Structure 1
Amino acid sequence: MHYIKIFTTILLVVIYHSGFSQDTLTKDSAVIFALENNYGIKVANNNVLRAKNNSSIYNSNYLPKVSANAGANYNNSNYDTEFQDGGSSTRDNALYNAYNASLAINYTLFDGFGRSYNYKILKETHKLSQLEARQIIENTLLQLFIGYYEVARLTEDELNLITFIEISENRLLRAKYNYDYGQKTKLDVLNAEVDLNNDKIKHRNIKKLLANSRHNLNFVLGRDVNIPFVVDTSITYTPALILEDLISRTKNDNVYLLQANKNIEISNFQIKVNKSGWLPTVGISGSYGYNKLMNDASFSIANSTVDGFSAGVNLSWNIFDGGLTKTRVQNARISVENSQILKEQTEQNLERDVRNAWEAYQNALFVLEAEGKNVETNKRNFSRSEEQYKLGQITSIDFRLAQINLLNAATNLNRAKFDTKIAELVLLQVSGQLLNAEF
Structure 2
Amino acid sequence: MKKISILLALLCATYSGFSQSALSLEQIIALALQSNYDVAIATNNISSANNNATKAQAGYLPNLNLNSGLNYSRNNTNLTFGGVVPDIEKDGVENTSYNVGVGFNYLVFNGFGRVHTYQSLMNTQQLTSLQSKIISENLVLDIVTRYLDIQQANLNLDAALNNIKISQDRLKRVTIGNENGSRNKLDVLSAQVDLNNDSLSILSLQTAIQKQLASLNTLMGRDPYTAIKVAELIPVPAQQSMTVLREQALQNNATLLLAQVAEELAMHQTAITESRRLPTVNMTGNYGYNNAQNGAGVVLSQKTLGFSSGLTVTMPIFNG
Assess same fold via TM > 0.5: yes
The corresponding residue for 2:146 is 147
The corresponding residue for 1:62 is 60
Counterparts of 1:80 and 1:242 in 2: how far apart (Å)?
96
- Residue 90 of structure 1 deviates from its aligned partner by 9.4
Distance 1:271 1:179, change over 3 A: closer
Counterparts of 1:293 and 1:64 in 2: how far apart (Å)?
30
Counterparts of 1:280 and 1:193 in 2: how far apart (Å)?
90
Matched-pair contact (CA < 8 Å) for 1:149–1:233? no
Distance 1:174 1:26, change over 3 A: same
Counterparts of 2:18 and 2:227 in 1: how far apart (Å)?
12
Counterparts of 1:323 and 1:91 in 2: how far apart (Å)?
49
Counterparts of 1:204 and 1:233 in 2: how far apart (Å)?
21
Q: Deviations over 1:203-258 (max 9, x none)?
A: 11222222222333333333322223121232233343433443333322222222
- Residue 119 of structure 1 deviates from its aligned partner by 1.0
The corresponding residue for 1:41 is 39
Determine if the alignment matches structure 1 residue 160 to structure 2 residue 165. Answer: no
Distance 1:48 1:19, change over 3 A: same
Q: What letter corresponds to residue 289 of structure 1 in structure 2? A: G
Counterparts of 1:248 and 1:322 in 2: how far apart (Å)?
51
Counterparts of 1:269 and 1:299 in 2: how far apart (Å)?
58
Determine if the alignment matches structure 1 residue 102 to structure 2 residue 101. Answer: yes
Equivalent position SS for 1:106: strand
The corresponding residue for 2:25 is 27
The corresponding residue for 1:246 is 245
Counterparts of 2:317 and 2:91 in 1: how far apart (Å)?
59
Normalized per residue, which structure has more strand? Answer: 2
Q: Deviations over 1:174-221 (max 9, x none)?
A: 4556666x4844645554444323221221122222222233333333
Which structure's relative contact order is higher, taking Cα pairs within 8 Å and 6+ residues apart?
A: 2
**Gapped runs of 5+ residues in structure 2?**
1-11, 79-88
Distance 1:236 1:19, change over 3 A: farther
1:104-183 equivalences under 5 Å are 104-175=103-174, 182=180
Counterparts of 2:166 and 2:191 in 1: how far apart (Å)?
10
Distance 1:43 1:272, change over 3 A: same
Structure 1 length normalisation: TM-score? 0.57
**Gapped runs of 5+ residues in structure 1?**
1-13, 82-88, 325-439
Determine if the alignment matches structure 1 residue 230 to structure 2 residue 237. Answer: no
Matched-pair contact (CA < 8 Å) for 1:144–1:221? no
% identical aligned pairs:
29
- Residue 76 of structure 1 deviates from its aligned partner by 7.0
Q: What letter corresponds to residue 55 of structure 2 in structure 1? A: I
Question: 35-44 or 273-282, which moves further after superposition?
Answer: 273-282
Distance 1:312 1:298, change over 3 A: same
Q: Deviations over 1:367-408 (max 9, x none)?
A: xxxxxxxxxxxxxxxxxxxxxxxxxxxxxxxxxxxxxxxxxx
Equivalent position SS for 2:307: strand
1:235-314 equivalences under 5 Å are 235-270=234-269, 273=272, 276=275, 280-294=279-293, 297-298=295-296, 303-314=301-312
Counterparts of 1:242 and 1:261 in 2: how far apart (Å)?
26
Structure 2 length normalisation: TM-score? 0.74
Compute the RMSD of aligned alpha carbons.
3.8
- Residue 30 of structure 1 deviates from its aligned partner by 1.9
Q: What letter corresponds to residue 165 of structure 1 in structure 2? A: I
1:310-389 equivalences under 5 Å are 310-314=308-312, 316=313, 318=315, 321=317
Counterparts of 1:30 and 1:321 in 2: how far apart (Å)?
62
Counterparts of 2:183 and 2:259 in 1: how far apart (Å)?
74
Counterparts of 2:109 and 2:90 in 1: how far apart (Å)?
59
Number of residues of Structure 1 aligned to a counterpart in Structure 2 = 298
- Residue 287 of structure 1 deviates from its aligned partner by 0.1
Counterparts of 2:189 and 2:125 in 1: how far apart (Å)?
71
Matched-pair contact (CA < 8 Å) for 2:53–2:125? yes
Normalized per residue, which structure has more helix? Answer: 1
